[in-house]
Amino acid sequence: MLKNSNHSGGWYLLPVSLAAALLSACGGGGGGVVIPQLGAATGASLSGTCEALASKLGALQNTAITGTSTVAAGTLTVAGQAVPAHCLVTGKMNQRVSAVDGQTYAIGFEMRLPVNWNGRFFYQANGGTDGNVLTATGGFGGGPQTHALLQGFAVLSSDAGHTAAQNPTFGIDPQARLDYGYQAVGKLTPMAKNVIQLAYGKGPDRSYLGGCSNGGRHTLVGAARYSDQYDGFLAGAPGYNLPKAAVRSIYRGQQYASLVTAGSDPSTPAGLGTAYTTAERTLVSKAVLAKCDALDGATDGLIQDTKACQSAFNIATDVPTCSGSRDGTCLSAAQKTAVANIFKGPSTSAGAAVYNSFPFDSGHGGAGVAFWEFTAPLVLDSGAVGLIFKTPPETAATFNGPAFTLGANIDTLVAQINATNSTYTESGMSFMTPPKPTDLSAVKNRGAKVMVYHGVSDPIFSVNDTVALIDGLNAANGGDATNFARLFRVPGMNHCSGGPATDQFDMITPLVAWVEQGQAPDQVVATARGAGNAGGVNADVPSTWSATRTRPLCVYPKVARYKGSGDIESAANFSCQL
């Protein structure tokens, strides 16, 4: 079957024979490749007991199983629902002692295997600099009400090749860098499929890879490098240019450092935070709303038309300029310049942009933003760039993250994240990013699908960078890649969740329906997490909203526009339009 678009933006299915004839007649629209329709997965039951599985797993190559145990139904819950009984398998792969730093490394993992399995495998790609084997559930969005494990998937989670105690100094070891960047996924995937084969007497019919933040990066790197291993890819807030984003974060820290109040220490998050207070960030958010809220036809605290907003809002003229001291009702001229620079992003001395710009949106004052604005540059991104991404790395024993951030030269960092030497033979930009991000032809041609979501108010990975990726995919596919890759922007949402947004959604179900039944998602309905939400309340949801507000998340470049009548709190009264 071939999925193709009609003029209204919907989707229908053509028999492969008819599709091939049409492609032959009209030139194929993208190389004349007929996209196959993958079949649906069929379930199975766990063969024998979980404890008995241990003896079957002993022959796995380069793998030490450290535990197998039955987890009773209800031991785990999601949104008040009992997760069914499953088998927990823990272990590690490729344990070794580094010849470079003398540390012991291994790829730690856990797998959760449902007693009643749906025939699908889900690789849960975790975030940050990894280092922790998080509970393998495969959940997405804010306060998830479902996840892959609840739905019957076999789910794997890993630490990507190092422990939390080794963060970020694992970057001294060249192999640990590569495992973190992409090789852990490549090594764990066949092992996990072998475990499933031994547990159920059959391998997975369909395999999915997904995560948010660095997990979204893992997902897009996996789509580029391991397209033959997975049928569906779910990438949230994908930092697929993570080293560049980290350099931009360091630049942000330097901009704020020039604005700290007298007597404050810019090398501490609290001191750096005096440069741009919560009241001042909220002031800017309200000013953006005042200029942009109604552009989608509804004055509702959400900005759907992000592109139009960037033309409508000007921080220089739409935010009051302080004539005296700062009191939260204005910004100084220096603050306006710095904030504008931060949203634009750094450039090299030659004028080349280091990373993409960030759009102004309504979530800039969200409670979770301060961490990314003032802590991340000093504590997280300093270590990531200094010890993991650049060549050569800094000396771990004497490394000082805040000093590194505040004293770094942007040109030098850009050169170093692209550098190699005889010890570190792959640059940070090589091992952390998809080799050819806009060439996912192998994914497309085998019938696999990619769904991406990104908060418009994400303060660390720019939604504009993800839009640029999708624009590149479109250009590489005759102007339209929506027959295999779709982006859903989430207005107001911060990094992966939070912000004044409808940030609760299930994207696993529509991805499966797209991969296995050819039902391409034109929108995903998302819910605000107000009082009483079973998945957890989002403190950023305004009190003026319905606690259960819903909105459609539209396929880029469409935006949700109010139809002009009906309950403004209901997604049913909005439609996805250009």
User: Which of 39, 38, 56 minimizes the C-alpha distance to 47?
Assistant: 56
Residues facing 51 on adjacent strands: none
Buried (b) or exposed (e) across 274-286, using 16+ Cβ within 10 A? bbbbeebbebbbe
- Residues 298 and 567: their CA atoms lie apart, in Å, by 11
- Residues 4 and 17: their CA atoms lie apart, in Å, by 14
Structure tokens at 197: 């084969």
Where would I find the beta strands (DSSP E) of 74-153? Answer: 77-78, 81-82, 86-97, 104-114, 116-117, 120-125
Task: Evaluate whether 267 touches 402 at the Cβ level (below 8 Å).
Answer: yes
Residues facing 575 on adjacent strands: 561
Structure tokens at 562: 């109010």
Structure tokens at 291: 């200029």
Per-residue DSSP letter, 33: P
Q: Are strands 449-455 and 485-490 parallel, antiparallel or unpaired?
A: parallel
Residue 427's φ and ψ, nearest 5 degrees, are -75, 165
The answer to whether 130 is a known catalytic residue is no
- Residues 143 and 491: their CA atoms lie apart, in Å, by 17
- Residues 212 and 216: their CA atoms lie apart, in Å, by 4
Task: Evaluate whether 162 touches 388 at the Cβ level (below 8 Å).
Answer: no
Selected catalytic residue, list 147, 364, 454, 495:
495
- Residues 418 and 243: their CA atoms lie apart, in Å, by 9
- DSSP code per residue over 220-287: HHHHHH-TTT-SEEEEES--TTHHHHHHHHHHHHHHHHTTPPTT--TTSHHHHHTTS-HHHHHHHHHH
Where would I find the beta strands (DSSP E) of 375-473? Answer: 449-455
The answer to whether 285 is a known catalytic residue is no
Structure tokens at 190: 């066949």
Structure tokens at 458: 């994400």
- DSSP code per residue over 194-212: HHHHHHHSS--SEEEEEEE
SS3 501: coil
Which parts of 319-400 fold into alpha helices (H)? 333-344, 369-370, 381-383
- Residues 125 and 470: their CA atoms lie apart, in Å, by 21
The answer to whether 495 is a known catalytic residue is yes
**Cα-based torsion angle of the residue sequence 145, 151, 152, 155 in order, rounded to the nearest 10 degrees:** -50
Selected catalytic residue, list 231, 293, 305, 458:
458
Selected catalytic residue, list 158, 213, 285, 362:
213
Per-residue DSSP letter, 85: P
- Residues 1 and 519: their CA atoms lie apart, in Å, by 12
Q: How far is CA 433 from the centre of its chain?
A: 13
Task: Cite the active site residues.
Answer: 213, 458, 495
